[in-house]
Amino acid sequence: MDKKKNPERKKSEMDKRGILMVSFGTSHLDTMAKTIEVLEKEVAEQYPENPVYRAFTSQMVLTKLKEQGLEFDNMEQALLRMKEDGIRELVVQPTHIIAGIEYEKMLEQLKMYRLEFSEIRVGRPLMDQAGDYKEAVEAVLAEERDTIGSKDTALLLMGHGTSHRATAVYPTLEYTFHLMGYSNVYVGTVEGYPELEDLEKRIREKPYKKVCLRPFLLVAGDHAKNDMAGEKESWKNYFEEKGYEVETKIRGLGECEGIRRMFYQHLKEATELE
C-alpha cells in the first residue's frame, strides 16, 4: 500500500499534508528520547510545513505508559486527530525494521481510513528492498568498525524475530555482511530464526575469544536490556557460560545516524510519489 486515493474526491491545491510516524513503541523513556523522539524531531525539521504526528501500535506499551501517567495515541486516535486538524494528504512513515506482522497490521488499519483522506502514502520499513541491506551494513560499520576489525571477536546483532515470512531479512542481512567481507558478524533473533543456539553453533567453529552483543532494534528497551544484556537467562549470560569474554552496548538503531538516514530516504520516496 504505497499510495491510496479517494476516487470520489478531486485533489485540491489547498489540501493540508501531515506526516504520521508509526512505531511499535516503548515504555522505556530513556531510549525513546534517543531514538523515536530524535527521528520525529529531525523529520519535523526536514518538513517544516507539514505537522508531524506520532502513533504507537502496541497496546501493551500504551498501557505501561499510561500507568506512568503518559498518554500517547494509537493508530486510530492519531488518524482521527489528524482528520480533526484538517489533514487531507496523509504520509505515513513506519519505524518498523521489517515488513512483518506489525507493518501489515498498520496497512490494514490505514485501509479503514482510505475515504477519510484525499491521499494516503506509506513509506517503506527499514529493510524492504535489496539495496537496504548494503545500506544497513554500512550504517552498522560506521558505528562498529573497530569491533568488526578484530579477528578474535565476533559481533552479534540481536533482532526481534517473527513467525512472519519477513524473518528472512535476518539471515539475508548476515549474508550481506559476509559478502562485503565481514565474516565475523552474525545476526540472530529473540523470537524467530536464527535463534541464539544457531549462532553459537557457528561461532564455536571459529577461534573467537570475545563476543560483542548489539541490538538490531529501533529502541534499546526490554529485549536489549534484559534478553541481550541481562545477568540472568540472557545472551550475555549464555556466552559467558560458554567461556567467552562478552561486551554489550545498549544502543537502539534509532541512535545510529546512518539508520535514521535510511528512514528519511524512505519517507522522501513516499512524499515524492507521482
pLDDT tens-place string over residues 179-200? 999 999 999 999 888 899 999 9
Q: What is the pLDDT of residues 213-242, one digit of tens each?
A: 999 999 999 999 999 999 889 999 999 999
Cβ atoms of residues 19 and 54 within 8 Å: no
Q: Which residues pair with 120 in a beta bridge?
A: 4, 90
* Amino acid 192: pLDDT: 85
Mean pLDDT taken over the chain: 92
What residues pair up with 18 in beta bridges, in sequence order? 90
Q: Summarize pLDDT for 59-95 with one digit per residue, the tens.
A: 999 999 999 999 999 999 999 999 999 999 999 999 9
Residue in 28, 96, 160, 223 annotated catalytic: 160
Q: Which of 214, 219, 231 is nearest to 29 (CA)?
A: 219
Residue predicted with more confidence, 28 or 6: 28
- The mean pLDDT of 105-121, rounded to a whole number, is 95
pLDDT in the model for residue 273:
64
The reported pLDDT for the residue numbered 6 is 46
C-alpha atoms less than 13 angstroms from C-alpha of 126 in its C-beta half-sphere:
27
Q: In the chain, pLDDT over 90 holds for what percent of residues?
A: 86
> What CA–CA distances, in Å, run from 1 to 111, 200, 267?
9, 38, 14
Q: How far is CA 171 from the centre of its chain?
A: 17
State the Rg of the chain over Cα.
Answer: 20
Per the annotation, the verdict on 223 as an active-site residue is no
Q: Residue 114: which residues within 8 A CB-CB, separation 6 or more?
A: 4, 6, 120
